[in-house]
């Protein structure tokens, strides 16, 4: 009887895994079946390297959106990754228990805040601050990067802290036994041992940053132009899709689906790159 239950559960687990795989396959089929023909009709190089986006004239160049997504994501990582990892190290190895009980729910609360609320915060606080003290219109690459850097913090902190706590205590104790200080034991022994989990947190943070739409749309300026500075407005791939999908038709709509294909491939390449880096690090 027990064996029958185990077999039944194995079948249930296999079915759920198949459903997940099928969902991913269906999404891929939909995107590529509708987006690739449009890219071919427009022209691959004109679509990917074109600097003008004018749907009314059937001109579809998404290079400004690609550059905008790269700038905003890179800026968010420059802000969020160091702060997130250092916060995770503090919470895992340096934080007093009483303070940890306060910080943990606060970080979890940050993860649960809707994107539109972050967007309002950026619109009311960050945009005027950047406009007054740094320059420009306020809605810019810098503003979007700072806001996304805040939004990816909970993901990086939670995953990195779990990875650091999963490192066997013998690593830390061995470093202490060899004469290392507490700080050196943590940063030179424990953190490198947890780099696989930390990389996973960074990948999830990248996915959150590059896929974010509403908050970025509210603070980035949404100008389909290649920015010349951090204070210029920018439009990302995700905001381009959301802003125009509601009224698009025919080739315009298919071009937006083609933009989603580029975004999908972009995220896939980032995940593969991080996986390769993680493997090289493990071999080293």
Q: What is the DSSP string of 17-58?
A: HHHHHHHHHHHHHHHHHHHHHHHHHH-HHHHHH---EEGGGT
**Is the pLDDT at 32 greater than 90, yes or no?**
no
Q: Which two tokens stand for residue 80?
A: 């969020």
What CATH number does the domain located at 66-236 have? Answer: 1.10.3720.10
User: Using one digit for the tens of pLDDT, what is the confidence trace for 196-252?
Assistant: 888 888 888 888 888 888 888 888 888 888 888 888 888 888 888 888 887 877 888
Query: Residue 176: which pLDDT band, with cuts at 50, 70 and 90?
Result: confident
| Domain chopping of the chain, boundaries | 66-236
**Alpha helices per DSSP H over 90-152:** 97-112, 115-121, 127-133, 141-151
217 or 5, higher pLDDT: 217
CA 203 to chain centre: 7
Is the per-residue pLDDT at 117 higher than 80? yes
Beta bridge partners of 53: 60
What's the whole-number mean pLDDT along residues 76-95? Answer: 91
Q: What is the pTM of this model?
A: 0.84
Helix (H, G, I), strand (E, B) or coil at 270: helix
Percent of the chain at pLDDT exceeding 70 = 96
Does residue 282 have a pLDDT over 60? no
Per-residue pLDDT at 89: 92
Q: Is the pLDDT of residue 177 over 90?
A: no
Residues 6+ apart with CB under 8 A from 79: 145, 146, 148, 149, 150
């Amino acid at each position: 009887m027990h064996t029958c239950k185990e077999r039944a559960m194995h079948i249930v687990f296999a079915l759920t895994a198949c459903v997940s795989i099928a969902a991913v396959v269906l999404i891929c089929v939909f995107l590529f079946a509708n987006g690739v023909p449009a890219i071919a009709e427009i022209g691959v190089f004109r679509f990917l390297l074109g600097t003008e986006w004018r749907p009314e004239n059937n001109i579809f160049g998404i290079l400004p959106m690609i550059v905008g997504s790269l700038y905003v994501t890179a800026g968010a990582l420059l802000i969020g990754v160091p702060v997130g990892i250092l916060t995770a190290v503090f919470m895992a190895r340096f934080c007093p228990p009483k303070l940890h009980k306060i910080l943990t729910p606060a970080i979890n609360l940050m993860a649960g805040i809707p994107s539109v609320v972050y967007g309002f915060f950026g619109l009311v606080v960050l945009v005027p601050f950047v406009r007054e003290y740094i320059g420009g219109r306020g809605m810019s690459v810098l503003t979007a990067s700072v806001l996304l850097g805040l939004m990816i913090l909970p993901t990086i902190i939670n995953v990195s802290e779990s990875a650091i706590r999963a490192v066997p205590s013998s690593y830390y104790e061995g470093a202490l036994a060899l004469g290392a200080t507490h700080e050196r034991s943590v940063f030179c022994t424990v953190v490198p041992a947890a780099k696989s989990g930390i990389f996973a947190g960074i990948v999830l943070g990248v996915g959150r940053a590059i896929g974010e739409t509403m908050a970025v749309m509210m603070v980035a300026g949404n100008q389909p132009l290649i920015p010349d500075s951090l204070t210029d407005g920018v439009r990302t791939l995700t905001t381009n899709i959301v802003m125009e999908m509601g009224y698009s038709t025919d080739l315009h709509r298919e071009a937006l689906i083609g933009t989603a294909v580029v975004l999908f491939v972009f995220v896939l390449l980032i995940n593969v790159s991080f996986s390769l880096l993680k493997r090289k690090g493990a071999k080293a």
